[in-house]
Amino acid sequence: MSNTMRRLAIVGLIQGAALLAIYLASINKGWLSTQAPLLLALIYTSFALPAAWYLTEDIDGLPPRRRLVGVLSLGLILALLGACEGWAGADADGTALPDISTVACIVLGFVGVPLFAHAERSNGFGWRWNYAALFQSAWRNAMMLMVAFLLTGIMWGVLLAGSALMSSIGINIVRDLLMRPWFWIPVCTTTFACAMALTLARADTMIALRRFWLSMNQAFLVLMLLFSTMWAVALVFTGIDPLLKTRVAGFALLWFAALSVKFVNAAYQDGTHAPFSPWLRRPLSLAWLTIPVVTTVAGVAIYQRIAQYGWTGERVWSVFILIMATGYALGYSLSAFAPKRGWMWSIGQTNVVMALVLCAGLIALSSPIADARRVSVDSQVGRLLAGKTPVDKFDFRYLDEKSGIYGRKAFAELKAGVPGHPQAAAFTKAAEEYERKKNLWRTDSKAPPTDDELRANWTLLPEGTQPQPALVDTLLAQLRDQKLKNNKASACLEARNLCTLWLGDLDGDKTPELMVVIDQTWRQTAVIYRWQAEGAQLARVATIEELTEEWVKALRRGESKLVPNPWLDIEAGGQRVQIKPEN
């Protein structure tokens, strides 16, 4: 065993012991399970410190003392961000689950390691970076992580295969061992550490793999810029209205811009060698000028959604991604105006600047400085107070359950009444009605809800609909019937699931069908029934599981309509295909 593997294996064992201690203190409502800020701070630190240690191993020119200070500093920053997430994102019971801020911290750690490892004092004020060194370290670390995850997965594949082999003859000790946290947690961390050491010992192989991967990817840059050029020319004639009507324009354009940035970096690499033939380099530099047009139109699309519906957490992150994409696009475009400095010469400088912007933005968005939940709550409550969102259409559940401490604080203020606001009483009444419905569905209630309570809690659509009492009675009987298997609508009897009964003639027989829409926290489902008044029978027709939260909200707002389909379905080999015309 090499010294490097021995050192990293020890770090992996220590990490495994730390994670096991955290696990034991937080399971079964342990003391740590209700201390969300401390819990997430410890988890973030337990991952950040070993990862930063692995990723700084054998970096040229990094003194041991500076390495230690950098690793501890990164661990402290992520610990503070974890505590912020636990404080802001915990629910009313004090528990918190990882969300997008966790991903942000992972990206922050990955980008931050090479930045602090290669930072050098400039002759004047500030710091400077050697882009070639940053490129080498960042790609080395990326390859190390990918290979280490792969090897760890293979290790577990071997363990599971061996467990199944032994269990086949009645020896279950290996299977039982793999299920013990005191075994599988340190095995995972130590295996990963050893896998990182193995990749470090084969640095030449990693460099060869990197060059192979990037050389294969750079060819796609020509295709991407060809598409962007054709799109920009066509945009002059079509305008942006057709694009904005898709409602996914911002996502599509930012995705295209992100791929373009990836492929141009695959071609540029560390900037020491110019790719492509000389006759192709200049056209590609000029074609890149269409990418800022892409990000500009993406900004228009995102602004339109914000102007119409206000800020949400997703839109806050979208704007940050837009800022990053625009920075890359404009920075790289400078290369087109000074071709004598080399092909796409501004990539290196732009990447360093945008890496610093990325780190600053991730810290701000993952902390109270610019928490996306706080921005979203302020925007949505502001729209409610300004009358832009009707009280009966406002999503109190979002405030109470999906926006952390900021939403619960705003909910309490609305419930208490907004002094001097003409609709203060309406806010209080709506908040209390939401709480009544929520408490009805609490899992710790002493008795299950009665049929009358369920009827009062369900939303009936279209507005003013009064279904036959026999229909609702039959539905309740089916939902409570444990013999009926695979009935998704039975989730209406579970905790905190909001259900809507929607009546409409879906098959054209002039008799309305019943659609039960179940809005759970993580998914939205609809079950369609055919009602036969004679005999009071309710037959399940179909289950729809591809619904979105926005579709359900629009349905509740009354923004739905029946769209006939003149095309018949085609069935072959037991598979039924639905024709969806493009126009």
Backbone angles phi, psi at 139, to 5 degrees: -75, -35
Peptide linkage before 37 cis (omega within 30 of 0)? no
Cβ distance 304 to 270 under 8 Å?
no
pLDDT attached to residue 198: 92
Sign, Cα dihedral of 398, 399, 403, 408: negative
Q: Taking residues 246-252, what's their average pLDDT?
A: 84
Query: Which residues fall within 8 angstroms of residue 359, CB to CB, at 6 or more apart?
Result: 108, 111, 112, 115
DSSP 257-270: HHHHHHHHHHHHTT
Strand order in the sheet with 459-461: 459-461, 498-504, 513-519, 524-532, 537-544
pLDDT at 21 over 90: yes
Banded pLDDT at 495 (limits 50, 70, 90): very low
Q: Which amino acid is at 251?
A: F
pLDDT attached to residue 497: 66
Q: Which of 68-72, 117-121, 126-130, 520-524 has the highest mean pLDDT?
A: 68-72
Q: What is the pTM of this model?
A: 0.77
Q: Tokens 């625009």 belong to which residue?
A: 326
- The count of other CB atoms within 10 Å of the CB of residue 91 is 15
Give the closest residue to 57 by CA, choosing from 105, 7, 116: 7
DSSP code, position 342 = -
Q: What is the pLDDT of residues 1-10, one digit of tens each?
A: 678 889 999 9
pLDDT attached to residue 441: 56
Banded pLDDT at 76 (limits 50, 70, 90): very high
438 is written with which tokens?
């929520």
pLDDT attached to residue 368: 92
DSSP code, position 393 = G
pLDDT at 443 over 60: no
Give the closest residue to 187 by CA, choosing from 163, 159, 167, 166: 159
179 is written with which tokens?
């299920």
DSSP code, position 401 = H
Q: Rounded to an integer, what distance in angstroms lies between the CA atom of residue 463 and that of residue 460? A: 7
Span of 168-182, 213-227, 355-369, 525-539 with lowest mean pLDDT: 525-539
Helices 100-118, 347-365: crossing angle, 10 deg rounding = 130
Span of 27-41, 64-78, 149-163, 183-197 with lowest mean pLDDT: 27-41
Q: Rounded to an integer, what distance in angstroms lies between the CA atom of residue 155 and that of residue 190? A: 11
Cβ distance 116 to 74 under 8 Å?
yes
pLDDT attached to residue 124: 62
Q: Tokens 């829409």 belong to which residue?
A: 517
Q: Which amino acid is at 192?
A: F
119 is written with which tokens?
């930072």
Q: Rounded to an integer, what distance in angstroms lies between the CA atom of residue 282 and that of residue 389? A: 51
Secondary structure element (H or E) that encloses residue 527, with its range: strand 524-532
Alpha-carbon distance values, 95 to 25, 85, 91, 313, 433 (Å): 13, 11, 6, 20, 25
pLDDT at 496 over 60: no
Percent of the chain with pLDDT over 70: 93
Q: Taking residues 152-158, what's their average pLDDT?
A: 95
Cβ distance 182 to 224 under 8 Å?
no
State the burial class of residue 502 (Cβ atoms within 10 Å of its Cβ: 0-12, 13-18, 19+): buried
Span of 265-279, 371-385, 454-468, 514-528 with lowest mean pLDDT: 454-468
Three-class HEC string of 173-238:
HHHHHHCCHHHHHHHHHHHHHHHHHHHHCCHHHHHHHHHHHHHHHHHHHHHHHHHHHHHHHHHHHH
Q: What is the pLDDT of residues 252-311, one digit of tens each?
A: 999 999 999 999 999 999 888 888 888 999 999 999 999 999 999 999 999 999 998 899
Secondary structure element (H or E) that encloses residue 394, with its range: none
3-class secondary-structure state, position 116: helix
Sign, Cα dihedral of 369, 373, 375, 377: negative
Strands 459-461 and 498-504: parallel
Q: Rounded to an integer, what distance in angstroms lies between the CA atom of residue 81 and that of residue 41? A: 7
Q: Which amino acid is at 544?
A: I
pLDDT at 359 over 90: yes
pLDDT at 335 over 60: yes
3-state helix, strand, coil in the chain (%, to 5): 65, 10, 25
Span of 36-45, 260-269, 523-532 with lowest mean pLDDT: 523-532
Q: Rounded to an integer, what distance in angstroms lies between the CA atom of residue 165 and that of residue 152? A: 20
Q: Taking residues 166-188, what's their average pLDDT?
A: 91
Q: What is the pLDDT of residues 394-428, one digit of tens each?
A: 889 888 888 889 999 999 999 988 888 898 999 99
Supply the mean pLDDT for the chain: 87
Q: Rounded to an integer, what distance in angstroms lies between the CA atom of residue 418 and that of residue 425? A: 8
Number of alpha carbons in the 13 Å side-chain half-sphere of residue 20: 17
Q: Which residue has the higher pLDDT, 580 or 101?
A: 101
Q: Which residue has the higher pLDDT, 96 or 365?
A: 365
DSSP 460-504: EESTT----HHHHHHHHHHHH-TTSTT-GGGGGGSTT-EEEEEEE
What torsion do the CA atoms of 296, 300, 302, 307 make, to the nearest 10 degrees?
Answer: 150
Q: Tokens 């027709």 belong to which residue?
A: 541
Give the closest residue to 435 by CA, choosing from 466, 450, 420, 414: 414
Cβ distance 33 to 95 under 8 Å?
yes
Number of alpha carbons in the 13 Å side-chain half-sphere of residue 517: 21
State the burial class of residue 188 (Cβ atoms within 10 Å of its Cβ: 0-12, 13-18, 19+): middle
Q: Taking residues 238-250, what's their average pLDDT?
A: 84
pLDDT at 127 over 80: yes
353 is written with which tokens?
């600047």
Q: Taking residues 485-492, what's their average pLDDT?
A: 68
List Cβ<8 Å contacts ≥24 apart for 145-149: 145/55, 145/110, 147/195, 147/198, 147/199, 147/206, 148/192, 148/195, 148/196, 148/199, 149/192, 149/195
Q: Tokens 């009987």 belong to which residue?
A: 477
pLDDT attached to residue 581: 66
Beta bridge partners of 161: none
Q: Taking residues 195-223, what's their average pLDDT?
A: 90
